[in-house]
Amino acid sequence: MKWRSFMLRGVKYSLDHLHDFTLSFTQPAKGENPERLYEVDAEFGLHCFTSGIGPGQAIDPELKYCDSRECRHFDVLRYELSKQLPGIVADLHQRKCFHSGKGNFFLVEMVSPHGKVEQYEIYFAVSRASGGNGRLKLFVQSAYIRTYGHQPHRKPIGFYILLYNIKEGKAIRIPK
C-alpha cells in the first residue's frame, strides 16, 4: 500500500516510510536444520499513524484520515514514532516477539519521544503471501505507546519459528 501524505495546519506529513517493501531474512543453519531464506513483504496499517475516535466523539474534519475500511484521527505522536517501524521490522529476527492470544503477535520497543523513554507496543500478523510463491506477508497492524491494561508478556516466540511455521502451514501454539 502507498499511503498518501497528510496536511495539517500547513505542515505536510509524508508517509513514504510506511510504503510496502520486501525484506530477506536468513535463518542460520543449526544442527540438523539447514540455512533457510525467507522473503517477507512488509506492510503497515492505518493504526500505525492514526488513533481511534472515542465513544460519542465526533471525527474532527481537520484530523480525518481514511482508508477503504474506516476513518480515524491522524495522530502526530503515532506518526513520529512510525518513522522507526521500518527499522524495527528489519530487525525482528533479533527481537523478542510475543503471542497476543488473539491470532497476532506483538513486541515492545523502548522509544524516547520528547526525551522520555516509553514502551512502544507493535502488533503484527504473519501470513503466506498470495501467489503461491513461497513468500510471506508481515502486516504491522498497529503501533502505539503502551498504556495501562496492555498485553501481558507471555513466553517469547522466536521470529524464525513464526516464519517457518507460517510458511510450512504449521500451527503456532499459544503459550500459557
Predicted confidence pLDDT, tens digits, the chain (176 residues): 899 999 999 999 999 999 999 999 999 999 999 999 999 999 999 999 999 998 999 999 999 999 999 999 999 999 999 999 999 999 999 998 998 888 899 888 887 767 778 889 999 999 999 987 899 999 999 999 887 666 666 788 999 999 999 999 998 887 76
CA dist 46 → 27, 61, 109, 137, 175 (Å): 30, 17, 19, 16, 29
- Residue in the block written with cell 513486541: 107
Other residues' Cβ atoms within 10 Å of the Cβ of residue 27? 18
Report the b/e string of 134-155 with b at 16+ CB within 10 A.
eebbbbbbbbbeeeeeeeeeee
Q: What is the pLDDT of residue 163?
A: 97
Q: Is 95 exposed, middle or buried (0-12, 13-18, 19+ CB in 10 A)?
A: middle
**Do 143 and 125 meet the contact criterion of CB atoms below 8 Å apart?**
no
**Domain spans of the chain, in order of start:** 36-168
**Do 39 and 137 meet the contact criterion of CB atoms below 8 Å apart?**
no
Q: What is the pLDDT of residue 150?
A: 64
Write down how long the chain is: 176
Q: Is 93 strand, coil or helix? A: helix
Query: Across the strands, what pairs with 109?
Result: 120
What phi and psi, each to the nearest 5 degrees, are found at residue 3? -75, 140
- What gap in Å lies between CA 8 and CA 15, rounded to an integer? 13
